[in-house]
Structure 1
Amino acid sequence: MARHAKIPRMSHSVPDADRTARGRLVLVALFVLFFGSALAAGALRFTGWMPAGLRNHGQLLEPPVDLRQARLQLASGEAYPWQPQARIWRIVVVPPASGCDAACTTLAAQLDKVWRLFGHNADHVHVLWLGAAPAGAAQLPEMRVLRDDPGVRASLPGASDPAGVPLYVVDPNGFVILRYAPQSDPAGLRADVARLLKLK
């Protein structure tokens, strides 16, 4: 009678060293993936780095300048109210108090073009010109010519810039949040305000 050969039984009690090592590597990789990316993001945030698409073109004012109590008046003498519920963003132009030259005429034309590029959101942007505006600028639909106000002028950082005419962005509540140096590229202003207009 033939004897059946006994097949040795595999013991499952002894762990497979290679499989254990691979499992540990997977756990380490998952740890690095989740916690490493969080640490990297925190480090970038701490150093102030931001993606180019989210970076402001204008100088962020910290803290913002509070103009809510400023009593702005149009050139006609009427009050210019903030009306936060209307969600109007403002671009404030601060030319020299002594007067404006041909550069201001060019700037008014550039701002008109920027305003028109806002499309259906253009009605939510006013351009406030502090003091005398160049010829024809007052007729632009977005333009609000204000009486010069030394108090407002003094509260705006860098308003008396010898390099030219600075621009400012004011939020719907009356806080000045961005400053643009003289001769700044209007495309940067347009990009910043267009992003702000998307805020609810």
Structure 2
Amino acid sequence: MTARYRPLWLILGLFLLPLAIGGGLFAYGWRPAAPAANGDLLNPARTLPELLGADGRPLDPATFTDHWTLLVASAGPCEDACRQWIVATRQVHVALYKQMNRVQRVWLTDQPHPDATPLLTLQPDLHTAIAASEAARQRFDLDRAGPQVFVVDPQGRLILRYAADADPRGLLKDMERLLRYAWAG
């Protein structure tokens, strides 16, 4: 190798070195850690059961299409922990800023005639839904203690679940990531 070709070999080596390292890592089975969701990923995604509106009539399934939905599910009346999650989902909704028109919020209960007036006076953009059937109660795990938050995709499928003690900042991070990469909604 003459001195005249040394820069050419050096440049070629700089381009080929990352390919050789990447190929070696792939050959030995190393894979980067996948970014994990902060909530529990529901795999497979759950379809939404038939729900009732606050007026007791069946809710139109189109209510959950074309929007991402943050759904706070709690059995019985909305107690303190439920109210805290409703406030937290409102804060997440506002923190999404430019993307907030792609997201809606729903409070789901199993009470036949929920009193949503105290919630709606402070947060008029909150929708109310009722899980009247046993299948709906099971789909939203309403037998668990405390409220849970579900993320519903624009096709009306439950994809993420957050426990009562989850950190709302994790919900915000997941929603930002979903809205950044999703075309739907």
Smaller-chain TM-score bracket: 0.7 to 0.9
Rounded Cα–Cα distance in structure 2 between residues aligned with 1:197 and 1:142: 20
Identity %: 23
Rounded Cα–Cα distance in structure 2 between residues aligned with 1:189 and 1:172: 17
Structure 1 pair 155–126 and aligned structure 2 pair: CA distance change class (3 A): same
Deviation string, structure 1 residues 55-114 (Cα, Å, up to 9, x no partner): 3111111111122xx222211234433438952011121112x43322222222222222
Cross-structure match for 1:190: 172
Cross-structure match for 2:158: 176
Matched, 1:34 2:13: no
Correspondence 1:86-165 to 2 at 5 A: 87-96=66-75, 98-131=76-109, 132=114, 136-139=118-121, 140-149=123-132, 150-156=134-140, 158-162=141-145, 164-165=146-147
| CA RMSD, 1 decimal | 3.3
Q: Provide the secondary structure at the position in 1 that maps to 2:30.
A: helix
Q: Normalising by structure 2, what TM-score?
A: 0.74
Cross-structure match for 1:75: 54
Structure 1 pair 160–32 and aligned structure 2 pair: CA distance change class (3 A): farther
Q: What amino acid is the match of 1:155?
A: R
Q: Aligned-pair distance for 1:172?
A: 0.5
> Are the counterparts in 2 of residues 65 and 155 from structure 1 also a CA contact under 8 Å?
yes
Q: Aligned-pair distance for 1:38?
A: 4.6
Q: What amino acid is the match of 1:102?
A: D
Q: Which has the larger strand fraction?
A: 2
Rounded Cα–Cα distance in structure 2 between residues aligned with 1:85 and 1:102: 26
Q: What amino acid is the match of 2:129?
A: L
> Are the counterparts in 2 of residues 130 and 146 from structure 1 also a CA contact under 8 Å?
yes
> Are the counterparts in 1 of residues 106 and 129 from structure 2 also a CA contact under 8 Å?
yes
Question: Where does the alignment leave 5 or more consecutive residues of structure 1 unmatched?
Answer: 1-14
Structure 1 pair 38–180 and aligned structure 2 pair: CA distance change class (3 A): farther
Rounded Cα–Cα distance in structure 1 between residues aligned with 2:83 and 2:58: 25
Q: Normalising by structure 1, what TM-score?
A: 0.69
RCO comparison, higher one (Cα < 8 Å, 6+): 2
Question: Where does the alignment leave 5 or more consecutive residues of structure 2 unmatched?
Answer: none
Rounded Cα–Cα distance in structure 2 between residues aligned with 1:129 and 1:32: 55
Q: Provide the secondary structure at the position in 2 that maps to 1:91.
A: strand
1:44 pairs with 21, 31, 52, which one? 31
Rounded Cα–Cα distance in structure 2 between residues aligned with 1:71 and 1:100: 21
Structure 1 pair 84–37 and aligned structure 2 pair: CA distance change class (3 A): farther
